């Protein structure tokens, strides 16, 4: 039985990943910070597909929560084979507006939680016959100032996450464990996006070469592939999936 840990699994890309990969002979451990209703719906879907599912709500900036999460993820198989680090959020506060606490919180949630889980579980991945790790990054540390928007704390956290991903890929390569990052462009959310206005969305769509927002399933399809045996020769990559946004 394959054991997979997915953070940020209650909505959007995280939920789409679960719905894409859920199947029999799979043990999924899912987490969200506070979207319990969304997570319960995703859990029920995965169970209907034949997966064994455990879930836990909590703050990934809390090390004790991470320890509890890993205990749960090891419950049925004794180890973790694959990890999708999807937890994150867009913080639009600019310099002069965000605080040191805001910056620390972003880095703790998106980068330090990744490293903490890896540090505890690294031997699990080394001994797995299907070791795969995928982090979910963002365009906000690449397309700076698009539509006059910046996300400094999120950009810093995602840049750190990408650096951790690439260095980890090198370290685990000898164990045939692949480690990659997916960098989505503007993605349609479940409900209203808190960081942007409707007018900003309209202006952004006009600038995307494919002339649409990404759907969560677009990233989920790529991540599903990266978790598969077919992607066994892809590692250390930051893969943009942005409708051509990186071309402008």
Taking the domains of the chain in order of start, what are their residue ranges? Answer: 2-247
* Nearest CA-CA partner of 111 in 134, 87, 93, 91: 87
Tell me how many degrees the CA angle 126-72-190 measures, rounded to the nearest 5: 100
In this prediction, residues 164-185 reach a mean pLDDT of: 98
- Say what the pLDDT of residue 194 is: 54
In CATH, the number for domain 2-247 is: 3.40.50.720
What is the average per-residue pLDDT within 147-164? 93
pLDDT tens-digit readout, 83-105? 999 999 989 899 999 999 999 99
Q: Which residues pair with 29 in a beta bridge?
A: 5, 54
Angle between helical axes of 152-172 and 113-127 (0-180°, round to 10): 20
Q: Using one digit for the tens of pLDDT, what is the confidence trace for 101-153? A: 999 999 999 999 999 999 999 999 999 999 999 999 999 999 888 777 889 99
How confident is residue 50, by pLDDT bands cut at 50, 70 and 90? Answer: very high
Read off the pLDDT band of 192 (50, 70, 90): low
């Amino acid at each position: 039985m394959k054991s997979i840990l997915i953070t940020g699994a209650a909505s959007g890309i995280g939920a789409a990943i679960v719905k894409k990969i859920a199947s029999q002979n799979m043990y999924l451990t899912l987490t969200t910070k506070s979207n319990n209703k969304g997570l319960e719906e995703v859990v029920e879907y995965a169970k209907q597909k034949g997966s064994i599912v455990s879930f836990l709500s909590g703050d990934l900036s809390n090390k004790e929560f991470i320890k509890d999460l890993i205990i749960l993820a090891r419950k049925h198989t004794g180890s973790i084979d694959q990890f999708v680090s999807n937890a994150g959020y867009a913080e639009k506060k600019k310099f002069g507006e965000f605080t040191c606490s805001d910056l620390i919180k972003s880095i703790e949630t998106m980068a330090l939680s990744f490293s903490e889980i890896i540090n505890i579980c690294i031997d699990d991945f080394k001994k797995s016959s299907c070791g795969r790790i995928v982090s979910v990054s963002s365009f906000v540390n690449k397309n700076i100032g698009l539509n006059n928007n910046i996300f400094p704390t999120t950009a810093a956290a995602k840049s750190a996450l990408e650096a951790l991903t690439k260095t980890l890929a090198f370290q685990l390569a000898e164990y045939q464990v692949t480690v990659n990052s997916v960098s989505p462009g503007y993605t349609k959310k479940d409900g209203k996006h808190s960081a942007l206005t409707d007018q900003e969305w309209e202006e952004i769509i006009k600038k995307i070469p494919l002339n649409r927002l990404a759907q969560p399933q677009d990233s989920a399809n790529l991540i599903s592939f990266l978790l598969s045996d077919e992607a066994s020769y892809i590692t250390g990559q930051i893969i943009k999936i942005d409708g051509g946004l990186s071309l402008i």
